[in-house]
Structure 1
Amino acid sequence: MIEVYTDGASSGDPGKSGAGIYIKKAGQAYEYSYPLGNLSNHEAEFLAVLKALEVCQADFPDDILSFRSDSKLVVEAVERNYVRSEKYAPLLQRINEVSAFFPYFFIKWIPEKQNKHADQLAKKGIQLNDSSN
């Protein structure tokens, strides 16, 4: 089983956004930062989970995934398979599609203070927006 910490961040709402992913597996750590363009913070949070699933699909395809996020909106949406705002429905659908490739996929909410590493990586992702042009 691998632990996957995700965070999305925006400088403005909407604004330049980034995704941060921190993965722990068998005593090793893997870090990823992605620029996401101009999005709302909630969109960045959903995309952080989706990007993490895509990383896991490429690099850890047969692992049991235990995701952690400090976004209650995203965790509840995935757990209930429901979003109030139709704006997020395609993101949730894509998360469901990609997570179905894994033998087990769990997600749970954690407080921000337990997600600092992914937060730092998400902020790095915001900065990467400028360098990716």
Structure 2
Amino acid sequence: MIVVYTDGASKGNPGISGAGIYMKAGGESFDYTIPLETMSNHEAEFHAVIKALEICKEKFAGEILSFRSDSKTVVDIIENGSTKNVLFQPLITKINLLTKFFPYFFIKWIPEKQNAHADRLAKKSNPAAKLIHLRQS
């Protein structure tokens, strides 16, 4: 099972944004910081999940995924599978498509203090940079 912590951050709302992803797989851990465009904090949270799913599709296709997020909005919408919010509709559609590459996908809400590592990664994002793989241990 791959355990994935995601977080999105915006400097301003909307503002320059970033995604932080922390993964644990087979005794190894992976950190990612991903610059995003100007968007709301909620949109950044969704994009963090999307980017994490894309990474998992590339590195861990066919594995069981257990995601964690401190965004109740994101977790509730993903668990529901749809939303009436027109801004979030294309994002949940993309998430629903990406999760089909895995036999099981779970997402769980966690308190912010349990997501501090992904939060630091999200805030570290440089909007001029490309996807940066920071650490593998």
> Normalized per residue, which structure has more helix?
1
Tell me how many residue pairs correspond in the alignment: 130
Q: Secondary structure at the match of 2:96?
A: helix
Counterpart for residue 53 of structure 1: 53
Structure 2 Cα separation of the partners of residues 2 and 92 of structure 1: 21
Give the C-alpha shift of residue 2 in structure 1. 0.9
Q: Which amino acid aligns with 1:108?
A: K
Deviations 1:27-68 (A, max 9, x none): 210011100010100000000000000000001112100000
Q: Secondary structure at the match of 1:103?
A: coil
2:103 is the alignment partner of 1:103: yes
Structure 1 Cα separation of the partners of residues 25 and 63 of structure 2: 10
Q: Secondary structure at the match of 1:75?
A: helix
Structure 2 Cα separation of the partners of residues 9 and 97 of structure 1: 24
Q: Secondary structure at the match of 2:127?
A: helix
TM-score of the pair, normalised by structure 1: 0.94
Q: Which amino acid aligns with 1:40?
A: S
Structure 1 Cα separation of the partners of residues 13 and 94 of structure 2: 23
Q: Secondary structure at the match of 1:116?
A: helix
Question: Are the equivalent residues in 1 in contact too, given 2:35–2:129 (CA < 8 A)?
Answer: no
Counterpart for residue 2 of structure 1: 2
Give the C-alpha shift of residue 82 in structure 1. 2.3
Deviations 1:56-88 (A, max 9, x none): 000111210000000000000000112231110
Q: Which amino acid aligns with 1:123?
A: K
Counterpart for residue 72 of structure 2: 72
Counterpart for residue 133 of structure 2: none
CA RMSD after TM alignment: 1.0
Fraction of identical pairs, as percent = 58
Counterpart for residue 34 of structure 2: 34
Counterpart for residue 127 of structure 2: 129
Q: Which runs of 5+ in 2 are unaligned?
A: 131-137
Q: Which runs of 5+ in 1 are unaligned?
A: none
Q: Secondary structure at the match of 1:129?
A: coil
Structure 2 Cα separation of the partners of residues 8 and 99 of structure 1: 19
TM-score of the pair, normalised by structure 2: 0.92
Q: Secondary structure at the match of 1:3?
A: strand
